[in-house]
Amino acid sequence: MGKKKILVCLTGGIALYKAALVVRGLLKAGFELEIAMTKDAQKFVTPLTFSSLIKKKVHTDEEWFKSDEVLHIKLADWSDAIIVIPATANILTKMAVGLTDNLVSASILASQATKYVIPAMNQKMLTAPATQRNFQRLKADGVQFLSPVKGLLAEGYSGDGRLPEPPEIISWLIDRLETENKKDLVGKKVLVSAGSTVEPLDPVRYLSNNSTGKMGFAIAKIAQQRGAEVTLVAGPNQLALPNRVNYQPIKTARQMEQKMLEFYQQADFVIMAAAVADFRPAKTAEQKIKKQELDQLTLRLVRNPDILAELGRKKQKQLLVGFAAETQELLHNATQKMQQKKVDLLVANDVSRHDIGFGTSQNEVVFLQPDVAPELLSKRSKEKIADKIFDLLMDLNRQRRK
């Protein structure tokens, strides 16, 4: 496969100066770039800066108006992916409604390639209802966003809306651009569980855990990007739904068990990334329990179904992946779980660390397989870990066919 061809669209924001470092990072990673700039972008940084980096001319509205060829169609057809940086509120609005009043917006609309958008704007503009509606509409269209960060804004005060630093942007883009090259899961059915389950104590209170679902959602997202047909069974969460997945929301462990079994037989790869509650109250109160009526409260708990063990017992053609979230003796406990649950691959991580695991965007894991030495994957994004999981599953799938 040749170099991936990227159209970088530059728009008029004060954060544009950071885009030069992003362009240089993408060039070093081996991508082929074309650059288009809006008229306002040229007021912040001249085209010469970027043409010096890519060793070719930068496309502008002036060229667009004078060209005999249909330049926006040419760029749209050429590109494998489009990056918009820094994405202003103005360009987001144009993208959301399909307005094409300049070369950049016309090229974006004409392209069928995936769009990677890195917004930057004042916090008040970022949180405005119109901007939030545009985000939701564009996400529904398949646009991928790297969220702005909190920091010192151009207006002189701190707030959300600052463009992330170039190394973070480059890493985020490379993770996604490299994954998009892979379509090796076409024809595969992937079943993923994610997040926590909740076990009601009364109509207000419940038992649960700290899992946010980020790992499971990352797995579903990468599976879909690599071409799989994905079913995602997830507990309550606040995450953006990956594009084009069959989403099955649940609350309790028994509901998750029911949904996983419903889709299990037709699945090729099954990944239990959910943190399922081990126990539930033996009885759920019909009304809210009033603390004024009690000096102490004793709960009787009963065991929930062990979904992973059940899937292991019923496994036929599926490749089954489990997760082990441990606070001590990681390898010992994870190895026992791998053997007891009859999984083909177990992903273990240390949840006692605050920089990885529950609620974070990164993790550090150990992969365990029967009769294979444990493999450590150092701290990295959960999308990158998800990508590695599918690399291992495809290796196992090939070995099975021999």
- Please list the residues that pair with 345 across neighbouring strands: 321
291 secondary structure, DSSP code: G
Instruction: Please confirm, yes or no, whether 304 is among the known catalytic residues.
Output: no
- Please list the residues that pair with 8 across neighbouring strands: 35, 83
Contact 240, 232 (CB under 8 A): no
- Please list the residues that pair with 272 across neighbouring strands: 193, 322
Among residues 107, 75, 114, the alpha carbon closest in space to that of 225 is found at 114
356 is in an annotated binding site: no
Structure token digits, residue 319: 């490749």
Q: What is the DSSP string of 16-48?
A: GGGHHHHHHHHHHTT-EEEEEE-TTHHHHS-HH
Residue appearing with tokens 């606040």 = 238
Distance between CA atoms of 371 and 381, rounded to whole angstroms?
27
Distance between CA atoms of 362 and 179, rounded to whole angstroms?
17
Among residues 278, 277, 271, 272, the alpha carbon closest in space to that of 251 is found at 277
200 is in an annotated binding site: no
94 is in an annotated binding site: no
308 is in an annotated binding site: yes
Distance between CA atoms of 231 and 224, rounded to whole angstroms?
10
Residue appearing with tokens 């790297």 = 146
Helix (H, G, I), strand (E, B) or coil at 92: helix
Annotated catalytic residue within 209, 237, 243, 333: 209
80 is in an annotated binding site: no
68 is in an annotated binding site: no
Distance between CA atoms of 213 and 273, rounded to whole angstroms?
8
Which run of H or E residues covers position 335? helix 330-341
341 is in an annotated binding site: yes
Among residues 258, 302, 305, the alpha carbon closest in space to that of 283 is found at 302
Distance between CA atoms of 300 and 297, rounded to whole angstroms?
10
Taking the CA atoms of the chain, what radius of gyration do you get in angstroms? Answer: 24
Residues placed in the known binding site for CTP: 278, 288, 305-308, 323, 337, 341
Residues placed in the known binding site: 278, 288, 305-308, 323, 337, 341
Q: Mind telling me the catalytic residues?
A: 209
